[in-house]
């Protein structure tokens, strides 16, 4: 199987840049498919439930997240609906080691994206799935959970994303 990438941590510049859209033609290339496999492997080895491309130093608009039990690839994702009701979750980040804190995010979202075969897709996500997707989408815009954190916690039940 494909090897894994090293995960970059603060102050890596890729974590603070806006990532670029991916062309549909690029998605189905063997190179991009291999990149997705390697990104997934990196998430697995780090014991994460989500990982975004800038976390391996590549500023492309793609992230992978475990939704339900299914590993899902989100390419050029866009949130089209957000609930006004919020949920507060303890978050951590593979790229910000040792820091954990409470973040408020929309409890439910609708997200549009391209799947790993270049097909248009849309999902309604709630609770932890919605939190992970919002955290990862922020990575594509150079935003980290520490920018939104309301309180530092001790990281007893950290979600590694
Ligand atoms: Zn993160």
Residue 59 lies in a domain: yes
CA of 119 to the centre of ligand 1 (A): 25
CATH of the domain at 133: 3.90.45.10
Average pLDDT, the chain: 95
* pLDDT tens figures, 107-132: 999 999 999 999 999 999 999 999 99
pLDDT at 158 over 90: no
Number of domains the chain contains = 1
> Residue 153's pLDDT is what?
86
* pLDDT tens figures, 63-79: 999 998 899 999 999 99
Residue 4 lies in a domain: no
Residue 38 lies in a domain: yes
CA of 104 to the centre of ligand 1 (A): 15
Residue 8 lies in a domain: no
Tell me which residues are annotated as active site.
Answer: 136
- The model scores a pTM over 0.75: yes
**Beta partners for residue 114, in sequence order:** 75, 120
Domain enclosing residue 25, as ranges: 13-160
pLDDT at 155 over 90: no
Residue 1 lies in a domain: no
């Amino acid at each position: 199987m494909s090897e894994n990438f090293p995960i970059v941590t603060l102050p890596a510049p890729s974590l603070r840049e806006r990532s670029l859209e991916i062309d549909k033609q690029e998605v189905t290339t063997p190179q991009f498919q291999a990149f997705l496999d390697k990104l997934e492997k990196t998430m697995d080895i780090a014991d994460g439930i989500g990982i975004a491309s800038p976390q391996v130093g590549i500023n492309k608009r793609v992230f992978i997240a475990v939704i339900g039990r299914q590993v899902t690839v989100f390419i050029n994702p866009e949130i089209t609906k957000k609930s006004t009701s919020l949920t507060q979750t303890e978050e951590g980040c593979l790229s910000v080691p040792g820091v954990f804190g409470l973040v408020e995010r929309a409890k439910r979202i609708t997200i549009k994206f391209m799947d790993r075969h270049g097909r248009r897709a849309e999902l309604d996500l709630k609770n932890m799935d919605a939190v992970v997707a919002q955290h990862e989408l922020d990575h594509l815009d150079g935003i980290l959970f520490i920018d939104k954190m309301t309180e530092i916690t001790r990281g007893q039940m950290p979600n590694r994303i």
